[in-house]
A and B are shown apart, each in its own frame.
Chain A
Amino acid sequence: MKKTLGNIYLTLVLIFMYAPIATLMILSFNASKSRSHFGGFTLGWYIGLLENEEVMAAFRTTLVLAFLSAVIATVLGTAACTGMVFMKKRSRSIIMGITNIPMLNADIVTGVSLMLLFIACRATMGFTTVLLAHISFNIPYVILSVMPRYRELKMSTYEAALDLGATPVYAFFKVVIPDLMGAILSGFLMSFTMSLDDFIITHFTQGPGFDTLSTKIYSEVKKGINPEIYALSTIMFLTILVLLFLVNYRPGSKRPDGEIHVRTRKEVVVSSGKRGTV
């Protein structure tokens, strides 16, 4: 009885969470451009998508932006963590405090402050400004993901390598980095995801002729969304879905723990001692 109730509850919440996604998917097959009635089944929007230069350009920009900003943030963030390990506790906690600002601040304030900065510098708004903004809000995710791992790291292996004659750089890349790899990758993935979905900060730092999927969608919400965007999102969503299930359920793989593997901003904050530093 209790179990049935639980299942009903789970189902209800799942319906709530997937209703909009289902709606979008159905609309991507809707022959009529109007979103209020279903005018028959079509694959036209999927075919049209390939020829829609605007949407495809926004899609590419989004991916390139997410990838570049995540890579740069990962490099900068990991380097910063390495440096911080050797710092005095005091300067380290100051830097960690600053790192927490963008995590806790409202996106709108972060976006506006960066806009003011770029205008003050007379920078031309465009891909570069948005990239700088994205790197800025991505670095904290990397640091908050890598730093706790560093704390758990046993420096003795590194020192042993040195004693055995390895150069510090060699020892760092052969001993320390492999140990951190998991944390670095999850920092990277998180950055990638945050950048992919960001709207507010991009909204304030974008320039002419520049659109990510988010800003494109926002401007189209006002005048009616092009169904090709539904098609694109459906493809993206299904790709991720298939991928995640493949990765999680390869035959014979045993799950080491019950943890959720798509980590999000939230989890890092939970796990990485945000409350320790604030």
Chain B
Amino acid sequence: MRKRALLLSIFFLTMSLSGCGGNSSTGINSDNVVYVFNWGEYIDPEILTMFTEETGIEVVYDEFETNEIMYPKIKAGAVNYDLVCPSDYMIKKMIDNDLLQEINYDNVPNYVNIGEDYWAQAESYDPGNRYSVPYVWGTVGILYNKTMVTEKVDSWGILWDPKYKDEILMQDSVRDAFMVAERYLGYSMNTTDEDELQAAKKLLQQQKPLVQAYVIDQVRDKMIGNEAAIGVIYSGEAIFTQRENPDLEYAIPKEGTALWMDSWVIPKGAKHKENAEKFINYLCRPDIAYLNFDYITYSTPNMPARDLIEDEDIRTSPIAFPDLSQYVLEVQTSLGEEADRHLSDLWREVKSY
């Protein structure tokens, strides 16, 4: 018995030690790093390697799933990221709570590549563009499988059609889920009116029996794998999923949807601010931004990068680069701490319904 245990532990010992040896080479000892916190599948990993090769700065890269999961980590201050990529309303919230520091544009000369329109759009949550540099943008819409949905899709209403029971994938993120219900009811997606919120909650509760699952990044795989007929998804995923499964189609509902933008910001606790700025600058370089677009397929605000897109269909794609005047669009804003908490309580009421 003892011998057996000894043998086993010797085995573990050697395994661990061999691990130890390898670890020291990858362990981050130098200070020449940048800690990046980004959405899942939101950058071409090749770019991280290229950045390190070119600048010698090591990139420690982590991913989050929703703005709401990212926020407490930054706020608690227990983790020091140098660069984070939240969405519009969350950036506003972080500015309001004094969690961000101003970007020194002298270190980001490539900022000129970002189109004027996008700086203007960013003004809505970051007045004066002091804290954030736009990374990607898009809309929220409905992705559907043409072989399973034959009718015309132009309204959020299809998400409440009993015909598609268990075929619907709903966004598992508070603001986006409520946005869908609020727009369908004709309210603003930034409403804090109690009656409107309750009505939206009721509507979402009614929808729950029809929903197959509340997911975020999984919408992509499930739609590609024909697991569901309809999914609420960000426009950036549309081109990618269509590439993988040509039966998929993206539609922006007529009731209106969110026009969103994710931007790079530098939290207050950042220990490598200059490296963070170098990283932003690198991403703003047209060739890099183009490379990245090709991989993540989310609309880039980088004008020269857009011109680099060879495929005519994609360069002028109404999904990636829509004519915004055609749609009813609204930008989500920060509702304030109190309202946020209330909204997440309501969301829990939906999910436990």
A140 to B301, CA, bound (A): 55
State which residues 1-23 of B face A: CB under 8 Å: 1-2, 4-9, 11-13, 15-17, 19-20, 22-23
Known interface pairs A188-B9, A209-B35, A247-B7. Does A123 touch B224 (Cβ–Cβ under 8 Å)?
Answer: no
Partner of B80, one of A63, A124, A189, A224: A124
* Chain A contacts with B in 224-278, Cβ cutoff 8 A: 224, 243, 247-248, 256, 261
**Interface flag for B104 (CB, 8 Å):** no
Q: Does B62 contact A (CB under 8 A)?
A: yes
Looking at the complex, which of A75-83, A87-95, A154-162, A179-187 is the stretch in contact with chain B? A179-187
Size of chain A's interface in residues, with CB distance under 8 A? Answer: 40
From 22 to 42 in chain B, residues with beta carbon under 8 angstroms from any chain A beta carbon are 22-23, 26, 28, 35, 37, 40-41
**A64's contact among B7, B19, B220, B227, by CB below 8 Å, is which?**
B19
CB of B242, distance to nearest CB on chain A (Å): 16
Q: Nearest residue in B to A224 (C-beta to C-beta)?
A: B221
Q: Which of A36, A67, A208 contacts B16 (CB 8 A)?
A: A67
Contact B11 A243 (CB under 8 A): yes
* CB within 8 Å for A189 and B8 given contacts A63-B16, A256-B1: yes
A128 part of interface (Cβ distance < 8 Å) = no
Q: How extensive is the interface on chain B, given as a class?
A: 35 or more
Could you tell me the dominant secondary structure of chain A's interface residues? helix
Contacts of A248 in B (CB 8 A): 4
Contacting residues of chain A (97-138) with chain B, CB-CB under 8 angstroms = 115, 118-119, 122-125
Q: Is A148 an interface residue (CB 8 A)?
A: no
In the bound complex, residues from chain A placing their C-beta under 8 Å from that of B76 are 119
Whether B60 pairs with A209 at a CB distance below 8 angstroms is yes
Q: Is the CB of B11 within 8 A of A67?
A: no
Interface residues of B in 212-260 (CB under 8 A from A): 215-218, 220-221, 224-227
Given contacts A67-B13, A207-B79, A219-B40, 5 further A-B contacts (CB under 8 A): A60-B23, A119-B77, A189-B9, A208-B80, A222-B216
Q: List the interface of chain A (C-beta within 8 A of B).
A: 34-36, 53, 56-57, 59-61, 63-64, 66-68, 115, 118-119, 122-125, 181-182, 185-186, 188-189, 192, 207-209, 219, 222-224, 243, 247-248, 256, 261
